[in-house]
Structure 1
Amino acid sequence: MFRARFVTATMAVAALSASLSACSNTEDSTQPKQSQVAVAKDSALAAMVPARFKGGVNVASGVYAPMEMLTESGKFTGFDYDLGQAIGGKLGIGFRFENQDFDTIIPSLQSGKHNIIINGMNDTAERQKTLDFVDYFHAGMAILVKKGNPDHVGTVLDLCGKSVAVAKATVQSDLMKTESRKCPGVGKPAMKLVEVPAETDAQLAVRASKATADVLDAAPAEYAAVTAGSGKLFEVVHDSQHPGGYAPVNTGIGVLKKDHDLTLALQAALKSLIQDGTYKQMLAKYKLTPYAIDAALINGKA
Structure 2
Amino acid sequence: MIKVPAKYQKKGSLIVATDASYAPMEFIDKDGKTVVGMDVDIGHAIGKILGLKLKFENASFDSIIPALQSGKYDVGMSSFSDTKKREEVVDFVTYFSAGTSFYVKAHSDLKVNGLDDLCGKSVAIEKGTTQVDDANAQSKKCTDAGKQAVTLLVFPDQNGANLAIASGRAQAGLADSPVAAWIVKESRNQFKLTGAAYNTVSYGVAVPKGSDLAAPLHEAINQLIKSGEYANILRKWGITQGGLKESKVNDAAE
TM normalised by structure 2 equals 0.93
Relative to its length, the structure with more strand (as a share) is: 2
CA distance in 2, matches of 1:100, 1:221: 21
- Deviation sequence 1:97-119 (CA, Å, 0-9, x none): 00011111112112222111000
Counterpart of 1:276? 227
- Deviation sequence 1:26-47 (CA, Å, 0-9, x none): xxxxxxxxxxxxxxxxxx02xx
| Residue 251 (1) aligns with residue 208 (2) | no
Amino acid at match of 2:36: T
Amino acid at match of 2:246: A
| Residue 61 (1) aligns with residue 18 (2) | yes
Counterpart of 1:28? none
Q: Secondary structure at the match of 1:193?
A: strand
Pick aligned residue for 2:236 from 285, 292, 297: 285
- Deviation sequence 1:216-257 (CA, Å, 0-9, x none): 1000000110112x2x11111123xxxxx2211111100012
Q: Secondary structure at the match of 2:41?
A: helix
Judge conservation of contact 2:69–2:89 (CA < 8 Å) in 1: no
Pick aligned residue for 2:166 from 204, 207, 215: 207
Q: Greater shift after overlay, 152-161 or 89-98?
A: 152-161
Judge conservation of contact 2:50–2:220 (CA < 8 Å) in 1: yes
CA distance in 1, matches of 2:111, 2:193: 12
CA distance in 1, matches of 2:174, 2:23: 14
- Deviation sequence 1:49-84 (CA, Å, 0-9, x none): 111112210000012100002112210111000000
Judge conservation of contact 2:4–2:216 (CA < 8 Å) in 1: yes
Amino acid at match of 2:240: T
Counterpart of 1:116? 75
Amino acid at match of 1:95: L
Pick aligned residue for 2:98 from 123, 139, 154: 139
CA distance in 2, matches of 1:258, 1:157: 38
Judge conservation of contact 1:68–1:81 (CA < 8 Å) in 2: yes
Matches within 5 A, 1:9-158: 44-45=1-2, 48-54=3-9, 55-63=12-20, 64-73=22-31, 74-158=33-117
Matches within 5 A, 1:145-294: 145-184=104-143, 187-228=146-187, 230=188, 232-239=189-196, 245-259=197-211, 261-294=212-245
CA distance in 1, matches of 2:13, 2:121: 46
CA distance in 1, matches of 2:7, 2:205: 19
CA distance in 2, matches of 1:275, 1:105: 30
* CA RMSD across the alignment: 1.4
CA distance in 2, matches of 1:157, 1:283: 32
Q: Runs of 4+ in structure 1 displaced over 6 angstroms?
A: none
Number of aligned residues: 248
Q: Greater shift after overlay, 142-151 or 74-83?
A: 142-151
CA distance in 2, matches of 1:215, 1:133: 23
Q: Secondary structure at the match of 2:84?
A: coil
Amino acid at match of 2:23: A
CA distance in 1, matches of 2:144, 2:127: 26
What displacement does 1:208 show?
Answer: 0.9
Judge conservation of contact 2:69–2:90 (CA < 8 Å) in 1: no
Q: Greater shift after overlay, 274-283 or 68-77?
A: 68-77
Amino acid at match of 1:176: A
What displacement does 1:185 show?
Answer: 5.7
CA distance in 1, matches of 2:111, 2:92: 37
CA distance in 1, matches of 2:101, 2:23: 14
Structure 2 alignment gaps of length 5 or more: none
Judge conservation of contact 2:16–2:73 (CA < 8 Å) in 1: yes
Amino acid at match of 2:249: I
What displacement does 1:157 show?
Answer: 2.1
Amino acid at match of 2:29: T
Judge conservation of contact 1:155–1:237 (CA < 8 Å) in 2: no
